[in-house]
Amino acid sequence: MVQPLPETFRETPSQTAGPYVHIGLIPQQAGFDIFETNFSNVVAGPDATGEPIRVEGRVFDGAGEPVRDVLIEVWQANAAGRYAHPADRQPGKEADPHFRGWGRTGSDFETGLWFFDTVKPGIVSGRHGRPMAPHLNLWIVARGINTGLQTRLYFSDEEAANAADPVLNLIEQKSRRQTLIARRETRDGRGVYVLDIHLQGEAETVFFDV
Amino acid sequence: METVTDDDHREFLQRDRGVHPPAFTPDYKTSVLRSPRRALLSLQNSLSEVTGPTFGHSEIGELDNDLIRNYAHDGQPIGERCIVHGRVRDENGRGIPQTLVEFWQANAGGRYRHRNDHYLAPIDPNFGGCGRTLTDAQGNYVFRTIKPGPYPWRNFLNSWRPAHIHFSVFGSGFAQRLITQMYFEGDPLIWRDPMVLGIPDRAAAERLIAPLDMNAAIPLDMLAYRFDITLRGRQSTVFENKLQGN
């Protein structure tokens, strides 16, 4: 016999969020008002530093139909490339008191469109100090998705940074890297980035086991 | 926020996918077209994964953890009054303090207050069906509610979900994000449910079943169930896997 290792526990199994996830996480979308403070898809308000942008898209299933009951959360750094979390101690990058870095949204029940209003994130230092191109971390749950899917959204106008990004470069098939890059448009003078997410099939988005 | 320690710089243990249902579980029909066919790409943690949103008491209303009162208009909701409580800990057994726990459920008749639920069981005018709370310094949470009823759903022709409460938990890093469902001890529908049966490891599935907890019941008032939640732990050595100065 050997000494036993300290007791450990195993992670609680995931289960699907189901079709009525909005009741708990976005009750107003479910059709009623119950909380004084509601979480929203506004990741950065008007006082946040940085370039205001909208990111939007749709999530498609394996038959090419939009998923109309998906819930997406975003987690991102501020314009300086710093996360609003005490574990981020990157030198020289200021916290922004007007920036939380997190938001959630549900896709529209008719069109399947989702969007976030935020600011474009800065470069975050990755492993071994290698800079990561500006990106949003996305977490996707829905009816039919047993465990939340993690992916990233990168920006089409950051070509040089994307080409050097240590995570994008881990994707063996170069064509698949494109599934994470949102296309920039300009509407009413504001930058809008569009990224469609494909759960399954030819254009399947890269999902991560983080 | 002030509860974050040096431990929060450490990377998370690799997620054991064997305790989770795989993406493709064909008896749960909706998973067929909503499951990726390509392998997930494994990533070593960076700041993007070890950090995550924090929440404060100012965001949580006084009644947010009391589903018996938080939507009561002209009376109390109908059904079995119960307490649900437990601890949110990580795989190393450490309680996770001040983390957001959210929950939602059907009413006593199995009807959801949601514009897309058209089940013929009626809405309860005094029951909303959602709540949230922050864990305390030891990782404990508690809320009051009405035990939800089972309800039918369009999967097989005669599919019925066991009574369940949905849970959403954050932890301290975005890689810990978890949504799950709690079931009730003794419910014969549990082992007929394709979502429960989608979990490959029976012992793991059993961890979703909350036991009756008579010690936490309030005599002449309400029963109690205990549901502990385990999120991913952090790696324990400090040499290679602590993100610092990068």
The tokens 């996770």 sit on which residue?
Answer: B96
Q: How many helices (H) and strands (E) does chain A have?
A: 4, 12
Q: Give the model's pLDDT for residue A66.
A: 98
pLDDT at A11 over 70: yes
Using a CB-CB cut-off of 8 Å, the residues of chain A touching B104 are 20-21, 23-25
pLDDT at B24 over 70: yes
Average pLDDT in the A134-140 region?
98
Number of domains in chain B: 1
Range of the domain at A183: 34-198
Q: Give the model's pLDDT for residue A7.
A: 84
pLDDT at B13 over 70: yes
Report the alpha-carbon distance of residue B73 to residue B71 in Å, rounded. Answer: 6
A138 inside 8 A of chain B by CB? no
Number of domains in chain A: 1
Evaluate whether residue B239 is within a structural domain. no
B57 inside 8 A of chain A by CB? no
Using a CB-CB cut-off of 8 Å, the residues of chain A touching B129 are 23
Evaluate whether residue B73 is within a structural domain. yes
A34 inside 8 A of chain B by CB? yes
pLDDT more than 70, % of chain B: 93
- Main-chain phi, psi angles of B213, to 5 degrees: -120, 85
Search chain B and give the residue with CA nearest A130: B246
Average pLDDT across chain B, whole number: 94
With contact defined as beta carbons under 8 Å apart, do B70 and B121 qualify? no
How far does the CA of residue B222 sit from the closest CA of chain A (Å)? 23
pLDDT at B246 over 60: no
Using a CB-CB cut-off of 8 Å, the residues of chain B touching A171 are 41
Please tell me whether residue B42 adopts helix, strand or coil conformation: strand
Query: Which of B158, B138, B44, B61 is CA-nearest to residue B98?
Result: B138
pLDDT at B194 over 60: yes
Q: Give the model's pLDDT for residue B7.
A: 63
pLDDT tens across B220-245, in order? 999 999 999 999 999 876 555 566 54
Evaluate whether residue B57 is within a structural domain. yes
- Mutation pick from B46, B99, B112, B242 vs chain A, by most beta carbons of A within 10 Å, is B46
Lookup: tokens for B196: 């429960």
User: In this complex, do A35 and B17 lie within 8 Å of one another by their Cβ atoms?
Assistant: no
Provide the whole-model pTM: 0.96
Lookup: tokens for A167: 């995570």
Residues of B annotated catalytic, as ranges: 112, 151, 161, 164, 166
Evaluate whether residue B224 is within a structural domain. yes
**To which H or E segment does residue A154 belong?**
strand A149-155
Report the alpha-carbon distance of residue A23 to residue B112 in Å, rounded. Answer: 8
User: In this complex, do A15 and B181 lie within 8 Å of one another by their Cβ atoms?
Assistant: yes
Q: What is the DSSP string of B4-28?
A: --GGGGBPBPPP-GGGS--S--TTS
Using a CB-CB cut-off of 8 Å, the residues of chain B touching A9 are 89-93, 230, 233
B94 inside 8 A of chain A by CB? no
Report the alpha-carbon distance of residue A132 to residue B35 in Å, rounded. Answer: 28
pLDDT at B139 over 80: yes
Evaluate whether residue B93 is within a structural domain. yes
CATH of the domain at B71: 2.60.130.10
**A151 pLDDT tier (thresholds 50, 70, 90):** very high
Report the alpha-carbon distance of residue A204 to residue A172 in Å, rounded. Answer: 14
Q: Give the model's pLDDT for residue B1.
A: 41
Evaluate whether residue A205 is within a structural domain. no
Average pLDDT in the A140-161 region?
98
Evaluate whether residue B238 is within a structural domain. no
CATH of the domain at A143: 2.60.130.10
pLDDT tens across B145-185, in order? 999 999 999 999 999 999 999 999 999 999 999 999 999 99
Query: Which of B53, B196, B168 is CA-nearest to residue B103?
Result: B168
Lookup: tokens for B97: 């303090």
Evaluate whether residue B244 is within a structural domain. no
Range of the domain at B157: 3-230
Q: Give the model's pLDDT for residue B56.
A: 96
Report the alpha-carbon distance of residue A61 to residue B203 in Å, rounded. Answer: 31
Evaluate whether residue B70 is within a structural domain. yes
CA angle B120, B126, B131 (to 5 degrees): 100
Q: Give the model's pLDDT for residue B237.
A: 62
Q: Give the model's pLDDT for residue B236.
A: 75
pLDDT tens across B28-54, in order? 999 999 999 999 999 999 999 999 999
With contact defined as beta carbons under 8 Å apart, do A127 and A166 qualify? yes
pLDDT at A185 over 90: yes
Lookup: tokens for B141: 């949470």
Average pLDDT in the B66-70 region?
98
Average pLDDT in the B9-23 region?
94
Evaluate whether residue A57 is within a structural domain. yes
With contact defined as beta carbons under 8 Å apart, do A119 and A179 qualify? no
Please report the ipTM that was assigned to this predicted complex.
0.97
